[in-house]
Structure 1
Amino acid sequence: MMHGPDGTHYPEWILWREIVPPERIAMLHGEFRDDPNAFDSFLSFHRLGEGTRIVMRTVFPTKELRDEAVERYRAIEGGRQTLSSLAAYVAEISDTGR
């Protein structure tokens, strides 16, 4: 379940298609199993100096579904927030030695 900033709850279902540490993750993301509007997400991890660059690519079944995700659900901003939260978490566990 994903919780929106306005308190709306969105059902989530993810099929992890591929996890190749430390290179990439691929997943199918929808609201439920066999969701015809499910989309693929691909994350790749690249060493960049002392850090890591993450490239996130999402492929929707149609342009209309992509546009809806961007405009109605603010998916680009949400992706940035998610990656920012991940960066903060990694920094925290790195600082504490966990």
Structure 2
Amino acid sequence: METIEQRSDIRSFFIAATPGQVFGAMSDPDRVARWWGPDGFSSTMYTFDFQSGGSWVLTMHAPDGTDYPNESRFTRIVPDALWEIEHLNGHHFTLTLELNPSGEGTEVCWRQTFDTVEHYQALATFVAAANQQNLERLAVEVLR
């Protein structure tokens, strides 16, 4: 049996802000549009029904002009503590962000889990860089 750890990109990132401040940047579609995606990407939001079972539809725009339609479903939301989506089109995965108070800020624990180890390994190098950039962009948005 493939464990979650074997098929996931797992990382943490400290942001010098409260969990509530971080969650604010994760729950407002205008703010999410500013930080979601790797460096150089922008997003156009169409639907952001921020509740468990709610739909999130957007297009990510790459720096080279390529558009990437995305559709996800919010699976779990705990205010100021947890945000989880299931990505439904293209690469199927679950993304969980947990917010843990830590000293003078928040430790954001990011876990992107694919269905199989093989699927994850095929994308692991790209996913690792993109997820780190996403967390850095989240921190900039929280602190702006």
Q: Which category describes the TM-score, using the shorter chain as reference length?
A: 0.7 to 0.9
The alignment status of 1:16 with 2:74, answered yes or no, reads yes
* Aligned Cα root-mean-square deviation (Å): 1.6
Alpha-carbon distance, 1:88 to partner: 0.7
Q: How many residues align?
A: 86
| 1:43-82 alignment, distance < 5 Å | 43-71=97-125, 74-82=126-134
User: Taking structure 1 as the reference length, what is the TM-score of the superposition?
Assistant: 0.77
CA distance in 2, matches of 1:77, 1:5: 16
Higher normalized contact order (CA 8 Å, seq sep 6+, divided by chain length): 2
User: Taking structure 2 as the reference length, what is the TM-score of the superposition?
Assistant: 0.54
Secondary structure, counterpart of 2:64 in structure 1: coil
**Aligned match of 1:96:** none
Letter in 1 for 2:76: E
Alpha-carbon spacing, 1:79–1:89, altered in 2? closer, same or farther (3 Å): same
Map Cα deviations across residues 13-32 of structure 1 (whole Å, 9 max, x no partner). 1100011011111110132x
Q: Between the two proteins, what is the percent identity of the paired residues?
A: 31
CA distance in 2, matches of 1:20, 1:76: 25
List structure 1 runs of 4+ shifted beyond 4 angstroms: none
CA distance in 2, matches of 1:68, 1:11: 20
